[in-house]
Every structure is written in structure tokens, then in C-alpha cells.
């Protein structure tokens, strides 16, 4: 059913009459302004009786004096140590003695207060001299309230604050404090330097002797182990020789590889008959001349061959000389090739010799490894003693120079001194009084607004359906709450027919917190259920949000009993011709919501009926459906019995059924289902009895069809 799906999220919550709320707030505004003005004036009057407080500040900077500070910058802990030293008890007593703080009212509560506020408190007995309290106790309490020292974040600066009722005295306090602290640091440094010098003298003497002995032991062992050093880096001779042999080995291997490559190339070119093109062959002084002679003989033979035959004596002579010359060239080339091979063999032998020497040196170095390790240990001990000696000597010399001069190096420097300020830090009447008045106004406005919102809230009108997120469950409503969060396991049968009031009490005990409760009201033959449903709904509506539905096809009885129109109702809502907001009406004289049957009828569709009931579950705590017996049976079957309780109307006295057993309702045996029966003739008498919460008109009681 698309129309119900579209209306399923129709909002429902309390509607607040904002106009009434605004009128209530405006009505209270004059009183609110008057209260704010009184509070502001009272605050100003009280503050005017207090003595003004003046703040003076002095600034110090911590600098580095020790070698241990990285980059000449002291760490946070060092600065914090100075901060704690500035507010120490010892320094407070020194400043008290210098400035006679116990004679100042700001530091001695036993003296006469300087302002009217203090005198009034003294007269009231709130302040004054406490039993067993000394001047020093009062001084310390006031001192640590008035004097403060702190580090400026991420800097080496320290700020000293002093607050008193006298501007000049505040400045004197701050300046005296920083001077006393610097003097204490200076005297402490001189004393410490003298003590350091006396302490370091025997240590320096002892380390001088021990360092000399350690160095002598290392030198003697070096000579015995033949581990002499040489060179600019003072490395051992064996290590130097090993390094030189390794370098020579590299050079020999390179020369051997080069010689072998040249010899191999020469042999290959000789076998191919092009040995003359070899670079090493061309370097020979004899072969180039022989090549020139060969070229000359070949040219002569070529010239004479034009006029002479091969058998001519001259031709034979030249041919013989050419053959002899070529034989000499080949012999000379072969010598060069063999020479290159000899060079390769010599380079290989030289490399082998260097390798043997290198292996021998390695074995020598390995054999002396224990001695080298021991020598290194002796040398490290000697170096450590020498370094410690040099460090102590520097400290000794620094302490000697400072002690001799009679001054100490102070780590704290004065950046700025305190001065008397004419601006008071407390009380600031021009700021605090308006703030008090404004706070009173805001708090009062909030209280009035909350009160008016609570008073202006009322159940929503059918024309405005708030969102489901604003629903308020039963435990959020004033009035009667469910007797239990879980359904009762059994109801004891009453000795007489129950009334709508008794039925409402029974239903409240059956309700489960956080879940809507569905009731189907079905009459016996010849009776109507609409008046019973309305009477029961009015009882429940005093504490819960209730809606009553006249199921489609059941006629105009519910609309007449509730005093609403039957033009738009369930029939139009299911058909999609009206929205849930348009179909919902308010019963006259009550907070009940009514959805009439509407004009028209049709077969009950289980999906449409279930969706409608689920939508109403989100908006209401109790949903009551009234219908004729046949229509009630049809609806009960269509939704598969998805109701929490049934109400039957007739003449026979009926009682609450026991949960856990099969209850007979509309011809069905339904397990775990509660049936409440109300007799029609008892209803009128009980509802008209004095003391009941609602007196229904007779025309709205049960009536026969």
C-alpha cells in the first residue's frame, strides 16, 4: 500500500506553543533585569570594600656555565631547579628578614586588615589569629600566595611575580627576591669551588702517576712483542708491510695479466700470417728496415720482369735475396712473439713470489694477534687515564681561578627588574560587576525559558505530526506508570465484572517498556464496542499516548461517540486517498486521537493492516481497534493474531484470563493472550459512581445494535 509506506515515517512528538512561551518569557523580563541589576550592584559594592592588589614582575634568564650543557643551553630540568629555588622556604625567610614582612598586613593576618572587607570578616570571626599559629606560619601561608615564580614556556626565562596591596612594595619584594637568589648562587659557587679544588688535588696527583705508569707499560710491551709503529698514523710496521705487499700483489697480477694477453695476441697473429701488424712487432728496430728492403726488392723484381724472364740470372738473384729477406723477417717476428711469452712467464713468476711473501706476512700478523690485542688494551687504559687526568686538571684550574678571585660564576642573569604599577589586578569592578549581572541574567533566562517550555508543552495536534525520533515513551510521561516492565504471569479472577478503570490497570501491568501495546475490542452479538474502547482509552490516556481506530466497514458509531467526523478515516487511508495526518482527529474534551472508519468499506488486507498498525506503534504507546464481531474476526485473522490483548463486551460477567493458557477470543484458542471482559449493564453503574476519573454521558455507554 504505497500511501501508507509514504506516511509510515509521519512524525509524532509533543507540540510546544512557542507563542505562549515567548509571552511568558517577555512577561518575566522586567523582573529578570531587576535581579541582574541587583546582583551587579551587590557585586560592585562588595568588591569596593576590598583593598586593591598590585602585581609587579621581574624577569631572569638562565645561562649555561657547565661543559655538560649541549650547545651552551641548559635543559628544562636545570631551569626548573632554579624556579624551585626561587620559591624555597630558606629564601622566603631571608626576604622576610630583609623587608620585615611580618610587619606587613599582606603577610601577617594577625595585624589589622587594610580594607573594610577584611575588617568585616574579622568582626564576624571568620578570619583572625588561629590557636597555635606563629608569625612564621602566617608568613609562609601569605608568602606562597603572594609570591610566584614560573618558567616561560620553551625559553630559559623565569618570571617572578609579587602581589600586594602596595604597588611600590610589590616591586621591592620582586627585586629583593631576585637579588637574594643571585647572591645565594654566587656565595654557593665560591664555596663549591673551594671544596672542588681541595677534593680534586689528590685525584689529579694520583692520576698523573697512574697515567705515566700505564704509558710506560704499554711502550715496554710494544718493544718485547716487536710491535713497533711507524708512519704519520702510528700504525704497526707489520701492518704497514702487509699493506705494501697487498698493493705490490695487485700490481704484479695486473702486469702478468697484461703480458699474457700480449703474448696470446702475438701468437694468434703469427699463426694467421699477419704478425707484422702486431704493435709489439712494429716496435722492433730491425723489422721495419727489413720490411723496407723487402718492398724495394719486390719493386725491382716487378720492374725487371717486364724485360727479363724468370730464368735470367738477375731475376734469380733478386728472387733469392727476397726469399732470404722474408725468412729473416719471419725469424725476427718469431723472436718478438717468444719474447712476449717470456715476459708473461716472468710476470707470473713475479706474482707468485709476491704471493708467497704476502702469505708469510699474513702468518706473521696472525701469530702476533694476541700481543696486538694486549697492546691495544694497555694503550686504551693509558689513554683513559690520560683523558680523565686532563678533565680533572681543567676542573681544578677553573675552581682555582674562581676561588682565587673570590667570586663565583652565577648561572642566572637579571633581564628586567620589577617596577611599581598603578594598574590593579584585583578587584576589577568595571569587569566583574557586569559579568555577574550578565551571568545572573543568562541563568535566570534559562530557568524561565525551561519553566515556560514545560508549561507550554501539550500533546500534538493531528495537524502536526512530529518525527519518530521525538517520541516520548510511557516512562517519560507524568502520571501513572506501568506497574512492571514485564507482563504479569497471572491475573487473579475478580469476584465481580470489571470496569474500564480496572481494565486499564490490568493493561498497564501487561505493558512492556519500549513496546507499543495493541488492543482489539470486539462486542458480543447484539452489542457495540466503541463506547467501551473510548472509556478504556480515556483511562489510559491520563498517563499514555493512545489512539482509537474504528475499523473500516464498522460504521459511524466511533465517530458519533467521540464527537468527530466520519468523512475521512481508515477506508480513505488504506485506499491512499488521505494521509495519516488528515485521517487523525482529536476527540472532543480529551487528549485522545481518533481515526474513524471513514466512508466506504472493503476486504481487510493483512499486509495493509499490519503496515498501518506498525506505523501507529511508532507513534503511540497504546493502539485500540474497535470493530463489529465479524470485522474483528476478519482483522484478527488477517494480521495473524498480532494483538497483545482483547476486550469483549456483553452481558455475562467476564474476568481477566490467565496468561500461559489458551484464551478463547473470537472463536480462537490463543495461547499467552489476555482477554478482558466488561459487562454492558455493569459499565453504566460503575462509570457513574462518584470518585471515578471520568463520567461518561449515557449516550456514550454501550448500546445495542
What grid cell was written down for 250?
Answer: 695487485
* 3-state SS, residue 93: helix
Lowest-pLDDT range of 261-265, 615-619, 701-705: 701-705
Q: Can you tell me the distance from the alpha carbon of 240 to that of 235, in angstroms, rounded to the nearest whole number? A: 7
pLDDT of 450 reads 87
Q: Is the pLDDT of residue 16 over 70?
A: no
Segment 354-379 shows an average pLDDT of 78
**pLDDT at 682 exceeding the cut of 60:** no
Q: What is the 3-state secondary structure (H, E, C) of 477-518?
A: CCCCCCCCCCCCCCCCCCCCCCCHHHHHHHHHHHCCCCCCEE
Q: Within 10 Å of residue 35's Cβ, how many Cβ atoms?
A: 16
Question: Is 109 within 8 Å of 137 (Cβ atoms)?
Answer: no
The answer, yes or no, to whether the previous bond of 660 is cis (omega within 30 of 0) is no
Q: Is the pLDDT of residue 607 over 70?
A: yes
pLDDT band at 151 (very low <50, low <70, confident <90, very high): very high
Give the per-residue pLDDT at 684: 40
Q: Note the pLDDT of residue 1.
A: 34
Beta bridge partner(s), residue 646: 520, 675
Mean pLDDT of 529-533: 82
The mean pLDDT of 71-93, rounded to a whole number, is 82
Beta carbons of 648 and 522 less than 8 angstroms apart: yes
pLDDT at 207 over 50: yes
Report the DSSP beta bridge partners of residue 61.
157, 413
What is residue 624's predicted lDDT score, i.e. its pLDDT? 94
pLDDT in tens, 441-488: 999 999 988 887 876 554 433 333 333 222 222 222 223 333 333 333
Per-residue model confidence (pLDDT) at position 443: 94
With bands split at pLDDT 50, 70 and 90, how would you rate the model's confidence at 113?
Answer: confident
pLDDT: which is higher, 413 or 280: 413
Return d(Cα 576, Cα 104) in angstroms, integer: 89
Percent of the chain with pLDDT over 90: 15
pLDDT in tens, 397-431: 876 765 554 444 567 888 999 998 888 888 888 89
Whether 246 and 362 have beta carbons less than 8 Å apart is answered as no
**Residue 236: what pLDDT?**
66
Q: What string of DSSP letters covers 435-466?
A: HHHHHHHHHHHHHHHHHHHHHHEEPPPTT---
Kindly report, residue by residue over 313-349, the tens digit of the pLDDT.
888 888 888 888 878 877 777 777 778 788 888 888 8
* Segment 289-314 mean pLDDT: 83
How deeply is 585 buried, as exposed, middle or buried, from its count of CB atoms within 10 A (0-12, 13-18, 19+)?
Answer: buried
| Predicted pLDDT at 6 | 35
C-alpha distances out from residue 438 to 41, 425, 445, Å: 12, 21, 10
What gap in Å lies between CA 702 and CA 628, rounded to an integer? 13
Amino acid at each position: 500500500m504505497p500511501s501508507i509506506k509514504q506516511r509510515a515515517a509521519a512524525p509524532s512528538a509533543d507540540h510546544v506553543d512557542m507563542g505562549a512561551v515567548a509571552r511568558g518569557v517577555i512577561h518575566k523580563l522586567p523582573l529578570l533585569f531587576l535581579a541582574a541589576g541587583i546582583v551587579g550592584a551587590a557585586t560592585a559594592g562588595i568588591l569596593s570594600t576590598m583593598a586593591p592588589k598590585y602585581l609587579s614582575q621581574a624577569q631572569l634568564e638562565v645561562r649555561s656555565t657547565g661543559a655538560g650543557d649541549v650547545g651552551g643551553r641548559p635543559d628544562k630540568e636545570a631551569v626548573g631547579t632554579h624556579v624551585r629555588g626561587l620559591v624555597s622556604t630558606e629564601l622566603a625567610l631571608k626576604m622576610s628578614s630583609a623587608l620585615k614582612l611580618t610587619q606587613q598586613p599582606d603577610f601577617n593576618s594577625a595585624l589589622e586588615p587594610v580594607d573594610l572587607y577584611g575588617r568585616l570578616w574579622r568582626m564576624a570571626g571568620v578570619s583572625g589569629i588561629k590557636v597555635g599559629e606563629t608569625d612564621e606560619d602566617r608568613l609562609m601561608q601569605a608568602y606562597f600566595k603572594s609570591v610566584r615564580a614560573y618558567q616561560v614556556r620553551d625559553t630559559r626565562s623565569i618570571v617572578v611575580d609579587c602581589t600586594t596591596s602596595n604597588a611600590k612594595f610589590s616591586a621591592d619584594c620582586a627585586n629583593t627576591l631576585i637579588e637574594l637568589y643571585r647572591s645565594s648562587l654566587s656565595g654557593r659557587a665560591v664555596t663549591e669551588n673551594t671544596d672542588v679544588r681541595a677534593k680534586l688535588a689528590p685525584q689529579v696527583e694520583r692520576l698523573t702517576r697512574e697515567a705515566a705508569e700505564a704509558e710506560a707499560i704499554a711502550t715496554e710491551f710494544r718493544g718485547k712483542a716487536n710491535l713497533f709503529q711507524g708512519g704519520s698514523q702510528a700504525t704497526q710496521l707489520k701492518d704497514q708491510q702487509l699493506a705494501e705487499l697487498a698493493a705490490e700483489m695487485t700490481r704484479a697480477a695486473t702486469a702478468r695479466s697484461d703480458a699474457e694477453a700480449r703474448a696470446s695476441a702475438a701468437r694468434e697473429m703469427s699463426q694467421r700470417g699477419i704478425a707484422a701488424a702486431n704493435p709489439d712487432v712494429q716496435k722492433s728496430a730491425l723489422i721495419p728496415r727489413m720490411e723496407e728492403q723487402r718492398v724495394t726488392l719486390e719493386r725491382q723484381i716487378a720492374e725487371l720482369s717486364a724485360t727479363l724472364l724468370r730464368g735470367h740470372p738477375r731475376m734469380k738473384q733478386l728472387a733469392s735475396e727476397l726469399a732470404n729477406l722474408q725468412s729473416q723477417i719471419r725469424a725476427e717476428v718469431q723472436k718478438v712473439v717468444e719474447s712476449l711469452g717470456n715476459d708473461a712467464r716472468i710476470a707470473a713468476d713475479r706474482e707468485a713470489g709476491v704471493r708467497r711473501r704476502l702469505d708469510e706476512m699474513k702468518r706473521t700478523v696472525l701469530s702476533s694477534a694476541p700481543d696486538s690485542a694486549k697492546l691495544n688494551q694497555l694503550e686504551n687504559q693509558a689513554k683513559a687515564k690520560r683523558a680523565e687526568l686532563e678533565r680533572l686538571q681543567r676542573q681544578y684550574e677553573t675552581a682555582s681561578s674562581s676561588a682565587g678571585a673570590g667570586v663565583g660564576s652565577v648561572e642566572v642573569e637579571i633581564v628586567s627588574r620589577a617596577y611599581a604599577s598603578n594598574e590593579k589586578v584585583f578587584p576589577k569592578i568595571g569587569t566583574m560587576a557586569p559579568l555577574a549581572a550578565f551571568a545572573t541574567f543568562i541563568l535566570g533566562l534559562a530557568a524561565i525559558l525551561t519553566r515556560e517550555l514545560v508549561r507550554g508543552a501539550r500533546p500534538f495536534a493531528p495537524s502536526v505530526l512530529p518525527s519518530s525520533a521525538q517520541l516520548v515513551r510511557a516512562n517519560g510521561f507524568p502520571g501513572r506508570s506501568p506497574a512492571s516492565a514485564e507482563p504479569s504471569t497471572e491475573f487473579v479472577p475478580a469476584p465481580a465484572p470489571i470496569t474500564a478503570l480496572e481494565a486499564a490497570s490490568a493493561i498497564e501491568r501487561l505493558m512492556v517498556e519500549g513496546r507499543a501495546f495493541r488492543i482489539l475490542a470486539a462486542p458480543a452479538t447484539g452489542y457495540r464496542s466503541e463506547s467501551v474502547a473510548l472509556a478504556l482509552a480515556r483511562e489510559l490516556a491520563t498517563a499514555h499516548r493512545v489512539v482509537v481506530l474504528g475499523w473500516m466497514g464498522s460504521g459511524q458509531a466511533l465517530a458519533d461517540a467521540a464527537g468527530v467526523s466520519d468523512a475521512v478515516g481508515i477506508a480513505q487511508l488504506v485506499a491512499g486517498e488521505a494521509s495519516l495526518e488528515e485521517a487523525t482527529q482529536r476527540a472532543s474534551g480529551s487528549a485522545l486521537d481518533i481515526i474513524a472508519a471513514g466512508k466506504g468499506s472493503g476486504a481487510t488486507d493483512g499486509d495493509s493492516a499490519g503496515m498501518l498498525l506498525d506505523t501507529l506503534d511508532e507513534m503511540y504507546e497504546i493502539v485500540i481497534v474497535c470493530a463489529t464481531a465479524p470485522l474483528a474476526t476478519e482483522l484478527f485473522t488477517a494480521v495473524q493474531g498480532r494483538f497483545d490483548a482483547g476486550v469483549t463486551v456483553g452481558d455475562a460477567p467476564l474476568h481477566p484470563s490467565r496468561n500461559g493458557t489458551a484464551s478463547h477470543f473470537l472463536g480462537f484458542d490463543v495461547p499467552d493472550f489476555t482477554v478482558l471482559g466488561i459487562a454492558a449493564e455493569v459499565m453504566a453503574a460503575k462509570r457513574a459512581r462518584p470518585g471515578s476519573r471520568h463520567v461518561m454521558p449515557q449516550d456514550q455507554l454501550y448500546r445495542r445494535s
